[in-house]
């Protein structure tokens, strides 16, 4: 056994515990395990003013996409927003999430920084392993509204759900979160139930177990994919702005399809793990044999890089010949 121990690479769990200690995250990990979610405070989650810079970048993206600068103080630009969701919303319902701006990683370098934040990556690796990839990065911008957001788990599969996280959500809180401001609602401990909520359990205003999260701007709100969550409607003026970084184990189907979409320059200016995180090591999803060969050629160095990081050889079928 001693011989085996000497030749075994550092186990991924041991490595992630080293990172958890390095960043002082132990108590947040305990809370995450017990409740299924935790709030990492701004001083740990967003050093160097990352939260303020993300907020500014989101307001810029909104202005570019909607031809109007969002009104952070009054929220008038987003009041009772229906926008792109109009066709989906019945009766006089408004959007429970406000505006949803998708595919942000190519919009500004600050979004690359947000993904490579070592605290975020430590928490994502703890929940979904070092081979975790980005599923999507977007922005919710919510003004005063009527509709609360029905609770759900983020695990994209029917019940029963596996106990370990298939996906995780690491949301940058960019304005003050509290109930009147339309905060996220959680059912503490629900990640252990390994099932999605039934319709009669899913309304945050009616389920007595649903609690509002309080978090100042610059916090990182982290949850296990199985944790039941939704959001309360916003009764106060102003905007609630957040950037959900939704991450997945590499065999889970992702929201964004990034294979082949990431310019070399963007890969080169980032840490070697960035390419894997942006799905460049994924071969699945090819459209022809030629495409499979080209995806394999692109993927090989990312598969090697992540193999070195995890101390694992490969990822089953998602290999060169996947």
Task: Give the residues lining the site for Fe ion (CB under 5 A).
Answer: 154
296-305 long-range contacts, Cβ below 8 Å, gap at least 24?
296/320, 296/321, 296/322, 298/259, 298/260, 301/275, 302/275, 302/276, 303/276, 305/272, 305/273, 305/275, 305/276, 305/281
* Selected binder of ligand AKG within 137, 154, 220, 226 (CB under 6 A): 154
- Supply the DSSP string of 38-55, one letter for each residue: EEE-HHHH-GGGHHHHHH
Q: Assess 184 for contact with ligand AKG (CB under 6 A).
A: yes
To the nearest whole angstrom, how small is the minimum distance from the Cβ of residue 225 to Fe ion?
9
Q: Which does 244 bind (CB under 5 to 8 A by kind): Fe ion, ligand AKG, none?
A: ligand AKG
Q: In Å, how far from its chain's centre is CA 166?
A: 12
Query: DSSP strand E in the chain: where?
Result: 37-40, 99-101, 133-137, 139-142, 149-152, 167-173, 184-186, 211-212, 220-224, 229-231, 240-248
Beta pairing class for 229-231 and 184-186: antiparallel
* Selected binder of ligand AKG within 101, 231, 243, 278 (CB under 6 A): 231
To the nearest whole angstrom, how small is the minimum distance from the Cβ of residue 304 to ligand AKG?
32
Helix H, strand E, coil C: the string for 97-151 is CCEEECCCCCCCHHHHHHHHCHHHHHHHHHHHCCCCEEEEECEEEECCCCCCEEE
Give the nearer residue to Fe ion in terms of CB position, either 188 or 237. 188
Q: Assess 229 for contact with ligand AKG (CB under 6 A).
A: yes
Give the nearer residue to ligand AKG in terms of CB position, either 137 or 283. 137
* Selected binder of ligand AKG within 28, 111, 130, 149 (CB under 6 A): 149
Q: Are 127 and 37 in contact (CB under 8 A)?
A: no
Give the nearer residue to ligand AKG in terms of CB position, either 236 or 294. 236
Give the nearer residue to ligand AKG in terms of CB position, either 122 or 227. 227
Q: Are 100 and 106 in contact (CB under 8 A)?
A: no
To the nearest whole angstrom, how small is the minimum distance from the Cβ of residue 210 to ligand AKG?
12
Q: Are 185 and 229 in contact (CB under 8 A)?
A: yes
To the nearest whole angstrom, how small is the minimum distance from the Cβ of residue 131 to Fe ion?
22
For ligand AKG, the nearest residue by Cβ is: 184
To the nearest whole angstrom, how small is the minimum distance from the Cβ of residue 149 to Fe ion?
8
Peptide bond into 160 cis (omega under 30): yes
Q: Assess 179 for contact with ligand AKG (CB under 6 A).
A: no
Q: Which does 149 bind (CB under 5 to 8 A by kind): Fe ion, ligand AKG, none?
A: ligand AKG
Q: Assess 135 for contact with ligand AKG (CB under 6 A).
A: no
Q: Assess 281 for contact with ligand AKG (CB under 6 A).
A: no
* Selected binder of ligand AKG within 218, 238, 244, 275 (CB under 6 A): 244
Size of the site for ligand AKG (CB under 6 A): 10
For tokens 């990556």, name the residue.
121
Q: Are 224 and 37 in contact (CB under 8 A)?
A: yes
* Selected binder of ligand AKG within 50, 61, 97, 132 (CB under 6 A): 97
Find the binding residues for ligand AKG in span 22-61 (CB under 6 A). none
Q: Is 239 helix (H, G, I), strand (E, B) or coil?
A: coil
To the nearest whole angstrom, how small is the minimum distance from the Cβ of residue 204 to ligand AKG?
10
């Amino acid at each position: 056994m001693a011989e085996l121990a000497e030749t075994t690479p550092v186990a991924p769990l041991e490595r992630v515990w080293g990172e958890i200690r390095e960043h002082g995250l132990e108590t947040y990990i305990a809370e995450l395990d017990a409740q299924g979610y935790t709030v990492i405070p701004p001083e740990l989650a967003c050093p160097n003013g990352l939260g303020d810079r993300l907020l500014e970048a989101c307001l810029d993206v909104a202005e570019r996409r909607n031809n109007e600068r969002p009104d952070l103080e009054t929220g008038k630009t987003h009041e009772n927003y229906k926008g792109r969701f109009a066709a989906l919303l019945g009766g006089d319902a408004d959007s429970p999430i406000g505006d949803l701006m998708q595919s942000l990683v190519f919009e500004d370098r600050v979004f690359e920084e947000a993904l490579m934040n070592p605290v975020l990556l430590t928490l994502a690796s703890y929940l979904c392993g070092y081979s975790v990839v980005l599923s999507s990065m977007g922005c919710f911008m919510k003004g005063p509204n009527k509709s609360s957001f029905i609770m759900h788990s983020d695990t994209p599969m029917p019940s029963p759900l596996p106990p370990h996280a298939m996906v995780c959500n690491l949301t940058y809180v960019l304005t003050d979160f509290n109930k009147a401001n339309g905060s996220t609602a959680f059912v503490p401990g629900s990640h252990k139930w390994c099932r999605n909520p039934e319709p009669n359990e899913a309304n945050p205003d009616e389920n007595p177990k649903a609690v509002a999260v309080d978090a100042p701007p610059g916090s990182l709100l982290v949850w296990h994919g199985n944790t039941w969550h939704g959001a309360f409607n916003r009764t106060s003026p102003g905007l609630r702005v957040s950037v959900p970084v939704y991450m997945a184990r590499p065999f889970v189907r992702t929201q964004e399809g990034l294979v082949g979409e990431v310019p070399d320059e963007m890969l080169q200016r980032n840490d070697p793990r960035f390419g894997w995180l942006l799905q460049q090591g994924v071969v699945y999803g090819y459209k022809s044999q030629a495409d499979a060969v080209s995806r394999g050629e692109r993927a090989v160095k990312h598969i090697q890089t992540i193999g070195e990081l995890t101390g694992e050889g490969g990822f089953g079928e998602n290999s060169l010949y996947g």
